[in-house]
Amino acid sequence: MRKALKKEWLYGIRNHRFLIVGIGLVLLGALTPLMMAYLLPELLGQQMMNLTPEEISEIFDVSQRGIVGTFLADLTEIGLLLICLVYSPLIPSEINEKTIPFTRVLGVSITRMVISKWVIFSLITMIIGASAIHIDYLYAGLIDHFDIPYTIILQSTFAWCLWITWIIALLIWVGTWMKRHVATAMIVFFGTILLYGLLNLFDLSQYTPWGLISIIRHFDTITWDVWMLGSITSGLTIGLMLVDSVKRLHHLEWIRSIRGV
């Protein structure tokens, strides 16, 4: 397993996947306070001369709560899109370049490969996301003052981490179906948003990974039963997606082309 984990780590590093996601999320975390506190009010002031500074400050909530809330919303939208686009080749590239079947013939386990992808990419993205949330929290606190208890930030970070492990599993699973990375990215991105909307309609989203995200965006305290149900739903769906991904990869007929018979 260590070898498989190292291989995924090298893939993420040498193909700059972690670097792109890292720069993207950390910049998002660092720029949100800057944009909300200085750049956007300045721009709005220049565009709409009739607005007084007081009216502009009412439009932008530059409190720590307002800035971090906006950032968490961005993290689940712009951040999700970035993660989907950058990580979408995880499985499709291996299918299209036929690296899975040939390494499998040589004894590499598909189960280990899928699990190691999920572990490494979830772990690194969790670290990146957690860092971005903390950068945003600190910067926003320095601009205004620290009005969010740190326990809430820890809770948000944990919920985001749980959500991102779910997203990575979904990327792997959809990748085994679509076999094309752009299609995988788009389906995961829009599918996640659509699913969140649908579950919200039936008031079920609070028990899912997206529901946790919704709660943390509003800095509500997540109750124990919601944590439990959210974690169980996430764990079960992640497990199902990974098991099905392995099964699908095992049963793919690799060489369909007539070329090189």
Partner 1 sequence: MKMINVRNIKKSYEHQVALNDISFDIHEGKIYGFIGRNGAGKTTMLNILAGLIRPDEGEISSEDESMVSIGYLPEEPVYYAWMTPLEYIFYLSKNECEDSCQKLLSFVGLHDHQKRRIGRLSRGMKQRLGLACALVNHPKLILLDEPASALDPQGRYDLLDRIKLLKEQGKTVVFSSHILHDVERIADEIILIEQGQLMMKGKTSDILNQFSNEMIKIKYSHIKIDEFVIYLQQLLDVKHLEVKEHELYVHIKHHDVFINIITYLADHHLIVDEISFDRPTLEQHMLEVTSHHAKST
Q: Residue numbers of the site for partner 1 (CB under 8 A)?
A: 3-4, 6-7, 10-11, 14-15, 97-99, 101-103, 105-108, 253-258, 260-261
Residue 96 C-beta: closest distance to partner 1, Å = 10
What distance in Å separates the CA atoms of residue 224 and residue 258, rounded to the nearest whole number? 57
How far separated are the first and last CA of the chain, in Å rounded?
35
- Which C-beta is closer to partner 1: that of 11 or that of 210? 11
The SS3 call for residue 19 is helix
What distance in Å separates the CA atoms of residue 236 and residue 107, rounded to the nearest whole number? 29
Residue 248 C-beta: closest distance to partner 1, Å = 15
Asked if 72 contacts 133 with a C-beta cutoff of 8 angstroms, the reply is yes
Side chain identity at 63, as an amino acid letter? Answer: S
What distance in Å separates the CA atoms of residue 159 and residue 141, rounded to the nearest whole number? 21
- Which C-beta is closer to partner 1: that of 11 or that of 163? 11
- Which C-beta is closer to partner 1: that of 70 or that of 88? 88
Residue 260 C-beta: closest distance to partner 1, Å = 5
Residue 255 C-beta: closest distance to partner 1, Å = 5
- Which C-beta is closer to partner 1: that of 10 or that of 240? 10
Residue 141 C-beta: closest distance to partner 1, Å = 40
HEC readout, 22-61: HHHHHHHHHHHHHHHHHHHHHHHHHHCCCCCHHHHHHHCC
Residue 19 C-beta: closest distance to partner 1, Å = 13
- Which C-beta is closer to partner 1: that of 145 or that of 259? 259
Q: Within 13 Å, how many C-alpha atoms sit on residue 70's CB side?
A: 19
Q: How many CB atoms within 10 Å of residue 223? A: 11
- Which C-beta is closer to partner 1: that of 90 or that of 213? 90
- Which C-beta is closer to partner 1: that of 2 or that of 145? 2
* DSSP-assigned letters across all residues of 137-150: HHHHHHHS---S-H
What secondary structure letter does DSSP report for 97? T
Residue 97 C-beta: closest distance to partner 1, Å = 6
